[in-house]
A and B are shown apart, each in its own frame.
Chain A
Amino acid sequence: MATHSDDQRLELLQGTLDMLILRTLTWGPQHGHGIGQAIRAQSDDRLKVETGSLYPALHRLVKRRWLKAEWGVSEANQRAKYYQLTAAGRAQLLREQDRWSRLVDAIGRIMNPAPADTGK
């Protein structure tokens, strides 16, 4: 499974984990392990979320009422906690997405300055 060596793997930027979790859950309720796997798969194995960060983040989001948690039975036939977006969570995701794209845009402008006279 470890198709990327450690140095190719990216460190998550501070504060983006919450957004990624919220985004992942737009596909439907999922347990913690599944969320971790989904992030990893979606990023083509470039992002790996440490369980030590993932679970506290999930609990934080539940506490802020952006997620709600329910006990269910997993594919492994094991009781697992399924997380699900709330309406407030969806609104928060939109806010964070917007903030993120503005941040990427701003950083992009600095890192790759557009040539002054050659317009698009």
Chain B
Amino acid sequence: MRPDEGDLDEEIRGHLAIDIKERIDRGEDPVSARRAALREFGYVPAVREEMRRVWYSRWYDQAEALARDMRFAVRSLIRAKAVTVTVVVTLALGIGANAAIFSVVRSVLLRPLVNRDADRLLYIRQTAKGTGTENLTFSVPEINDFKSRATTVAAFGDFSTVDFTVIGFGHEPRLVKAGVVNGSFFEVMGLRPVLGRLLNAADDGPAAAGAAVLTHRFWTTALQSNPAVIGQTIRLGPRAATVVGVLEPSVPYPEETQIIANMVTSPHHSQAMMNTSRTHRMTELFGRLAPGATLEAARAELSTVHASVMRQYPQAYSARARVQLEVRTLRDQLASPAQTILLVLLAATAVVFVIACANVANLILARSVRREGELAVRAAIGASRGALRRTLLAESLVMCTGGAILGLLLAAPLVTVASRYAARFSIRALDATVDASVLWLGAGLAVIAAVLLAFVPRLPSSDRTAAVGLAGGSVRLTPGTNRRLRIFATIQVACSFVLLAGAGMLIATLTALQTANTGYDMRQVLAIDVPALATAVVDKNRSTFSPEATRRIRELPGVQGVAAGLVVPWRDLSFSNRLPFSVEGYQTADGEERPTAQLRVVSPGFFDVLGVPILSGRDFTSEDRSDTDPVAIVSQSVARRMFSSADAVNRRLWFGTAKPRRIIGIVADADDQNIVQAPTLTIYEPIRGGIMGQLANRLFVRAAGDPYTLVPPVTRIIRETSADQAVERPATLEDVRAEVLTPERLNTFVFSALGGIALLIAVVGVAGVLAFSVGARMREFGVRLAIGSTPHDLRIGVLRDGIRIAAFGIAAGAVGGYALVRVVERVFGAVQLPGALSVIGAAVVLIGAAAVASLMPATRASRVDVLQALRSE
């Protein structure tokens, strides 16, 4: 319905034509008829404007003007492709990185928990700093003391984890991690079911029926959200439980489990030791504040109770362990480990954004110098300063919008990466998603950048406009613009320096970790968990893999050896406790503590399979199982410390009051607990019956080729010999160690990537500044060549210029970075400063990069054609 502009014109033309024809028909002559018609019509543009205004409001016109400016901007930006692409990509990197990190920070630090009244939900923990134990957990008697004495806490929730072999859901038997909780746990946590019910007081006590709640993640991933699982009965090891409900999605803490079951499902929890031993600690404790009670009051009261309990039972709290109680809200507990790393990351990405903006400012400034002629012409033919500024604003808006869109597209995959990364520190990061608030952040950053950038270039000043700009149309660099360009370039170098030095520090740490000697041959060894039916009543006659299975695996093509052991290095960290032992003929000196060693139960062939050299003596054989002549193998450290240089073979040692064992061999040290190998006192025993034999259920297979090709046949053989047997987590030792090093690797990767981006941007920045300064000084170079400078002099001059920018930047970065560390230390405590090597390395890299960036402009300066340069103006 809305007429377009042509319609209006045509209607007016039609009106005039009809009028003129009528007048001619009445006898007027054509010329005066035309004149009269026009006179009677009135001022055509005014009438047309009024007709137009019926359909097009003033706002429409304003928007149209901006749109016209934007279209103009798009056209002129398309002509300047290189600059545009650089600006858009630079901004996209800055905005994308910030959006991603921000989403993770928000989900970890800012988003509320789903738990009802999360600020009244307490997490209570015992630490024993003296023995380096961050989380001592609680024993049942300790928890009962709190329950009977505390008044500021309305209810306590217990949580402990056990491994169950679950048979049910129509799946193969699988090992799941389960939480075992008391009836008030879910009430304390303030969580609701999405299906069925949760556990309550009726599920407490030895007479209750087994009941299990599925966690949301387990239900949706492993069970495909099948609602029919409610009411099913599953076997949890030796006992059975009914699935009563599915928990709502919530933050799993302290550990992610697949199911949460009541106490009666775990035989371990009904043993006398569990309920009476004050040092049998394996339970996590949560509490909900009583109405009216504050966190401080609860902390004070619980600490008082704890102190009096410690006085009452001194034997359970050794002075050396320095047992202490910590009470905080669950939310703080969840956020605290991630807080520092996330804030550091946020700061790093903010620095990248600053660098990106500085670089973009540089490019735009340089471009505006090139456009001074165009702007001057527009000013000369009457464009107001506002209109010129609007042109620049439209241009930077177009670029920043492009940058923001690309950046937010980039943010989605970045969030996935960043949340996996941050999940190492806080489980809440896994829920991070790109959503509206992130879009707002991106848009906000883009607008900030756009407005700043529109005001970076100088407009041609009204008085000098015509004279300067119109004359040559060539590039001129005023001292002011030049200074600004240099300042932005210096900022970039300074920021890059800080990031590079930090990344260098992390790389140095990681390299040290990765290249450290581990004592194992990691590449060819496949480790597989073959757990006994967890929490099953120990069956002494049952070994988890029969000799039959072992024999058949050994006969598989590509298998060089098979052995069993107690722990997969670096993965099974629950066997780090050391047992005191004695050695024939060794007296402890006064004040010397009794020697302690790790006990490892291994099968014959273990050392060969894992590549641990036997230094003297022999390996275990299948005949060593007898009780008549118990034998042991010791690590080199044991031999050195206990027997000095004398040969340890055939000497005897014993644990506590156990039968002395004859040492039959000495092997090299191999530390299966620490990622950086420490001298390890380890005593190996052959697998015999009993509990230790049951626990030695880690299978090691040495492969000739790719170890992972052996997983299916090995699994099949084990299943054929024992149908209910779970086979879990096959991985080479190399991958196990890599997995443990993941946080370090990720830290290094993220900071190196940020440092790399920063370096790249800074190189572009320095090169851009120099290219412009060279372009603007062509005439000067021509003159200098004419009066006797050599091209080499000019080249060196430009190179020196670039390196000077880098040097200033590095100095500024060093000072600024040091100041930043001091400020950060005041807030967060000690910060590790990068070593001299990292700092010098970063400086060298930047100087080198600046030199490379200067090369092209320098070469151009040295190739100036004297005559052409002098003639050009």
Contacts of A52 in B (CB 8 A): 42-43, 46-47, 50
Determine whether B19 belongs to the interface, using a CB cutoff of 8 Å to chain A.
yes
Look across to chain A and name the residue whose beta carbon is closest to the beta carbon of B2.
A63
Residue B676 at the chain A interface, CB threshold 8 Å: no
Whether, in the assembled complex, A60 has its beta carbon less than 8 Å from a beta carbon of chain B, the answer is yes
A76 to B21, CA, bound (A): 6
A51 touches B14 (CB 8 A): no
Residues in A neighbouring B17, C-beta threshold 8 A: 74, 76, 78
Chain B residues within an 8 Å CB radius of A80: 11, 14-15, 18
Find out whether the CB atom of B11 lies under 8 angstroms from the CB atom of A55. Answer: yes
Q: Please give, as numbers and ranges, the residues of chain B lying within 8 Å of A50 by CB-CB distance.
A: 42
Q: 1/0 contact trace for A50-86 toward B, CB 8 Å?
A: 1110011001101100000100001110111100000
Q: Does B53 lie within 8 Å of A56, measured CB to CB?
A: yes
Q: How far is the CA of A118 from the CA of B7 in the complex (A)?
A: 60
A70 → B minimal CB distance (Å): 12
Instruction: Please name all residues of chain A whose beta carbon is closer than 8 Å to the beta carbon of B14 when the two chains form the complex.
Output: 31-33, 74, 78-81
**Residue from A56, A60, A69, A74 in contact with B18 in the complex, judged by beta carbons closer than 8 Å:** A74
Which single residue of chain A is at the shortest CB-CB distance from B46? A52
Q: Which among A1, A32, A62, A78 has the highest number of chain B CB atoms within 10 Å? A: A78
Q: Which residues of B contact A31 (CB under 8 A)?
A: 14-15, 18
Judge whether A63 and B51 touch: CB under 8 Å. Answer: no
The distance in angstroms between the C-alpha atoms of A56 and B55, with both chains bound, is 10
B55 touches A63 (CB 8 A): yes
Q: CB-CB < 8 A to A69: which residues of B?
A: 3
Choose among A1, A76, A79 the residue that contacts B10 (Cβ–Cβ < 8 A): A79
**CB within 8 Å of A: which B479-515 residues:** none
In whole angstroms, what is the CA distance A56 to B3 when docked? 12
Query: Which residues of A have CB within 8 Å of B51?
Result: 55-56, 59
**Most central of A31, A59, A75, A79 by chain B CB within 10 Å:** A59
* Interface contact B50-A55, CB-CB below 8 Å: yes
- Expressed in whole angstroms, the minimum distance between the Cβ of A51 and any Cβ of chain B is 5
Q: Kindly identify which residue among B21, B43, B54 contacts A56, using a CB–CB cutoff of 8 Å.
A: B54
| The one of A1, A34, A60 that contacts B26, using a Cβ cutoff of 8 Å | A1
A50 to B42, CA, bound (A): 8
Residues of B within 8 Å of A55, CB to CB, are 11-12, 15, 47, 50-51
**B42–A51 touching, CB < 8 Å:** yes
B207: chain A residues within 8 A (beta carbon): none
On whether the beta carbons of B1 and A63 are closer than 8 Å, the reply is yes
- A1 to B37 alpha-carbon distance, docked (Å): 13
* B15 to chain A: closest residue by CB: A33
Q: Quote the shortest CB–CB distance from B212 to chain A (angstroms).
A: 68
User: How long is the Cα–Cα vector from A78 to B47 in the complex, in angstroms?
Assistant: 20
State how many angstroms separate the Cβ of A67 from the closest Cβ of chain B: 11
User: B5 contacts the other chain (Cβ, under 8 Å)?
Assistant: no
Known: A62-B1, A76-B21, A79-B10. A51 touches B54 (CB 8 A): no
A14-35 at interface with B (beta carbon < 8 Å): 31-34
B contact residues around A81 at 8 Å (CB): 7, 10-11, 14
Q: Which of A32, A34, A60, A75 contacts B11 (CB 8 A)?
A: A32
- A78 to B18: give the CA distance in the assembly, Å: 7
B 1-38 binary contact with A (CB < 8 Å = 1; else 0): 10100010011111101111110001000000000000
Q: How far is the CA of A59 from the CA of B3 in the complex (A)?
A: 9
In the bound complex, residues from chain B placing their C-beta under 8 Å from that of A56 are 47, 50-51, 53-54
B18 partner residues in chain A, CB cutoff 8 A: 31, 33-34, 74-76, 78, 80
B463 close to A (CB within 8 Å): no
B11 near A51 with CB under 8 A, answer no
Q: Give bound CA distance, A74 to B10, whole Å.
A: 13
| Cβ of B41 under 8 Å from chain A | yes
Minimum CB–CB distance from A93 to chain B (whole Å) comes to 20
| Distance in angstroms between the alpha carbons of A45 and B352 in the assembled complex | 78
A78 to B46, CA, bound (A): 23
Q: How far is the CB of B6 from chain A (nearest CB, A)?
A: 11
Chain B 51-68 residues near chain A, CB threshold 8 A: 51, 53-55
B629: interface (CB < 8 Å): no
| Alpha-carbon separation in the docked complex, A55 to B15 (Å) | 10
Contacting residue for A33 out of B3, B7, B19, B50, CB 8 A: B19
Contacts of B50 in A (CB 8 A): 52, 55-56
The smallest beta-carbon distance between B170 and chain A, in angstroms, is: 66
Please indicate the chain B residues that have their CB under 8 angstroms from the CB of A63 in the complex.
Answer: 1, 54-55
Which has the most chain A C-beta neighbours within 10 Å: B7, B13, B47, B55? B47
Q: Which of B685-714 contact A (CB under 8 A)?
A: none
In the complex, chain A residues whose CB is within 8 Å of the CB of B43: 52
Smallest CB-CB separation from B17: which chain A residue? A78
A51 contacts B46, CB within 8 Å? no
The residues of B that contact A32 with a CB separation of less than 8 Å are: 11, 14-15
A36 to chain B, nearest CB (A): 9
- Whether, in the assembled complex, B40 has its beta carbon less than 8 Å from a beta carbon of chain A, the answer is yes
Interface pair A51/B55, CB less than 8 Å apart: no
The answer to whether B1 and A51 have CB atoms under 8 Å apart is no
Q: Which residue of B lies closest to A69 (CB)?
A: B3
Q: Would you give the shortest CB distance from B54 to chain A, in whole angstroms? A: 4
Judge whether A60 and B54 touch: CB under 8 Å: yes
Whether B15 lies near A51 (C-beta < 8 A) is: yes
Docked pose: A52 CA to B42 CA in angstroms: 7
B20, closest chain A residue (CB):
A76
Q: Taking the nearest CB of chain B, how far is it from the CB of A6, in angstroms?
A: 13
With a cutoff of 8 Å between Cβ atoms, the chain B residues found around residue A74 in the complex are 14, 17-18
Q: What chain B residues lie within 8 Å of A59 (beta carbons)?
A: 3, 51, 54-55
Task: Determine how close the nearest CB of chain B comes to the CB of A50; give it in whole angstroms.
Answer: 7
Shortest C-beta distance, A58 to chain B (Å), equals: 8
Residues facing A in B427-443 (CB within 8 A) are: none
B32 to chain A, nearest CB (A): 13
Other 10 A-B pairs with CB < 8 A, given A33-B19, A55-B47, A62-B1: A1-B26, A33-B18, A51-B15, A55-B12, A55-B50, A56-B47, A59-B3, A60-B54, A63-B1, A75-B18
Closest 9 CB pairs of A and B: A80-B14, A76-B21, A78-B17, A59-B54, A56-B50, A33-B18, A76-B18, A52-B47, A52-B42
Chain B positions within 8 Å of A, measured between CB atoms, are 1, 3, 7, 10-15, 17-22, 26, 40-43, 46-47, 50-51, 53-55
* 15 A/B residue pairs, CB under 8 Å, sorted by A: A1-B26, A31-B14, A32-B15, A33-B14, A33-B19, A34-B18, A51-B42, A55-B51, A56-B53, A59-B3, A59-B55, A69-B3, A74-B17, A76-B20, A80-B15
